[in-house]
Structure 1
Amino acid sequence: MESKQLINKILRDILKNIDEYSRDLLMAESLDVELKGLNLWDLDGKRYSIKDLMDCDELPSFEAMDRKYVLRKVNLKHVDDGVMIIHLSSRKADEYSFSVDNTFEVILKTFSAASYEHRERILLWNELSDEELDIKISEFDVKVESIVQKISENSKISSEVLVYIDVFMDLEKIENVMEKEEEKLVLWLHPVFLFSKESTLKGLIAYELSKYDKSLIEGHYQDILEYCKEYRELQGKNLKIIEKIREIAVKRNDYDVLKEIDQMNTI
């Protein structure tokens, strides 16, 4: 097979067979891609080592030997430095083939403790241009202002409540911070919640404000459960308030909520 045709075929097969998260990173074209163990041989036995995508572009044209290529692992330990490393191997074969090794793995560092949903939202955040981010945050601000107004109508909280996305938070560590400033309560939300649906945001805000007005839990327990469900998706664990929500659901004979809580505790 002609060398440029072969390397393009290998790259397409890598993209097709790689895990979804790594594929998204590749498609975003925001990382330098290093290739380990990717070699082509011409018919005279000369080896051409392909170390990165630039080598692919600069590969000379020659008739290459057919080989069996195997995708072994993807190393994302250095994505913070803008580098993805893809490991392959190959051996002689009568015709070209590509497969994924039985021990294929994705090595994570930055997101080692992050759930799939957490990683996806980090990726969504990083893909936003400055202009797109401004639009998303403006839409978010309008949404949460309405939510805060509705929650405050039946709340004992007298302070003005302000909610913002904290664009400077560490994307890996999900936390929300409530600050009291004179007559104001300012809630800084982690960037992953920019992509949350309205019912989840309502539950999140009610949950955080319940630290200042416990009655909000009973008044908004269904929305708070929506937040708990998303928190579990992002963090892989349940919030302690789940048991309080269970008590409210039992008192109100809310069997749908009880069923959802049981499912959360068994997954």
Structure 2
Amino acid sequence: MKFIKYSKYVSDPAGEMSMEDLLNALSNYLLQSGFQDSWYFYEFNEGEQTLEQLRQAIQQALESGEMLDENMREQLEQMRADGQLDELIEKLIDRMQQENYITVDQPFDRSQQSKLPGQTGEMQQGQVKFEVTDKGLDFLGYRALRDLLGSLGKSNFGRHDTRDMATGIESSGASRQYEFGDTLNLDITATLSNAIQRDGLKVPLDLEYSDLQVHQCEYQSSCATVLMLDCSHSMILYGEDRFTPAKKVAMALSQLIRTQYPG
């Protein structure tokens, strides 16, 4: 005889947590420019990001609690008390890899730790590098664009997304007679009207070449756009990192150009 055993549902915070919210919370870390303040002088780091640094950034994001609801905060507190916070962070990193937000260049292999003299497994694991994928950069660019333009509020009516709601209409230009080479976007009403005016209302209705009317729209030309960032010393002059905000604006502009004005 077959038995069915029911058990209490155990939630998995790593599986329930939104990757988009996590990436948004990590955006400042992922987009940092590598300028480190050291005794009032800025030193440039090569920009290499390690998994250990990513773990610390995720832990700070979780501890801030800004991306979590009340129920998730309670689960996080319980996991911290049970010593399961590190396991949660590892699962989140695995999800970021599985969903193609990051790639790990040199996966840590415990079987190789004895082959490198003078280094422990923890040291090797801390040196593993990762990179943000194109999918992750697209998302960060989208969020940067939304944050920049979403704060405009209700200005003059335009095409930029805001946090406000409004009604709107879609208008198009007047139709004209079809010419060879035109996109065959027929104005059905005007085409049938021409045929009826020419030959009267009857069935079947004979259409001729001169009856065809096509919709007109604004001509859109192609354009190549180049975004350039100033990498001179003035970007970190007087101990202020101006390069990271500039990089965020550049990513937002890149997202705007590629999505709203392709070609």
The normalised TM-score by structure 1 is: 0.24
Q: Which has the higher strand share?
A: 1
The normalised TM-score by structure 2 is: 0.24
Structure number with greater Rg is 2
